A and B are shown apart, each in its own frame.
Chain A
Amino acid sequence: QQQVKQSPQSLIVQKGGISIINCAYENTAFDYFPWYQQFPGKGPALLIAIRPDVSEKKEGRFTISFNKSAKQFSLHIMDSQPGDSATYFCAAGFNAGGTSYGKLTFGQGTILTVHP
């Protein structure tokens, strides 16, 4: 049973455009929602993360929007650049005193291609 559903599977955006990736989760006990970025030949790297007590978090061109009632969260990449081309994974986890941060449930990933 997949607990975190991610869409779309692939996304093509023109340089300067907005990239939007969506995720939905089922387990309401999740309280930590990170996004990971993975380049070919590399491991996933933490991009940005949010907790459910806020509805939005912005870091540079990257923004997470969180809708607790709908159990959905999304990643917005503003002014998308060719260097943003990568696979993006959403994930969900538990903030149980910090000991469970590493046990994450991931989405299936979105391959983002930004054309020059």
Chain B
Amino acid sequence: EAGVTQFPSHSVIEKGQTVTLRCDPISGHDNLYWYRRVMGKEIKFLLHFVKESKQDESGMPNNRFLAERTGGTYSTLKVQPAELEDSGVYFCASRGIRGQGATGANVLTFGAGSRLTVL
């Protein structure tokens, strides 16, 4: 079973530019989460999708961040325009519902992350 895939692994952009991060969850996982870790800090929740619907977006920093999950499969997180404080590692994670997949309902599986550097 393939894991959670994130692209790109590293992106370097200048302040004011736009970046789009992509996440492909484990096939069949309805629940998809975005998290962010700013250098040396804790990993912080950004938002949660159930299929294509936003279940909880309470962690999104501001309206420069836009997350989508078209068709309930892969998800994108766009930052426009990027600011210096947006630098960090963006993690995507997925979780199945009870009975789905080999990983089970209670395991949050993370991708390797997309490192964003804003200069």
A residues with CB within 8 A of B: 2, 4, 6, 34, 36, 41-46, 49, 89, 91, 98-99, 101-109
Which single residue of chain B is at the shortest CB-CB distance from A32? B106
Q: Could you say which residues of chain B place their CB within 8 Å of the CB of A2?
A: 42
Q: Could you say which residues of chain A place their CB within 8 Å of the CB of B31?
A: 102
Are B91 and A43 touching (Cβ within 8 A)? Answer: yes
Q: Is B60 an interface residue (CB 8 A)?
A: no
Which residue, B95, B105, B106, B109, has most C-beta atoms of chain A within 10 A? B106
A-B residue pairs, 8 tightest by C-beta? A43-B110, A106-B43, A106-B42, A108-B42, A102-B33, A43-B112, A102-B95, A44-B110
Are A46 and B107 touching (Cβ within 8 A)? Answer: yes
Give CA–CA (A104, B42) in the complex, Å.
Answer: 11
Q: Is B44 an interface residue (CB 8 A)?
A: yes
Q: Could you say which residues of chain A place their CB within 8 Å of the CB of B14?
A: none
Q: Using known A-B contacts A46-B108, A108-B41, determine if residue A103 contacts B4 with beta carbons closer than 8 Å.
A: no
- Nearest CB of B to A67, in Å: 21
- A-contact 0/1 string along B98-119, CB 8 Å cutoff: 1000000111111111000000
- A-contact 0/1 string along B33-62, CB 8 Å cutoff: 101000011111100100000011000000
Give CA–CA (A82, B105) in the complex, Å.
Answer: 31
Are A43 and B45 touching (Cβ within 8 A)? Answer: no
Q: Using known A-B contacts A44-B43, A46-B108, determine if residue A103 contacts B48 with beta carbons closer than 8 Å.
A: yes
Give CA–CA (A103, B105) in the complex, Å.
Answer: 13
Which residue, B42, B107, B112, has most C-beta atoms of chain A within 10 A? B42
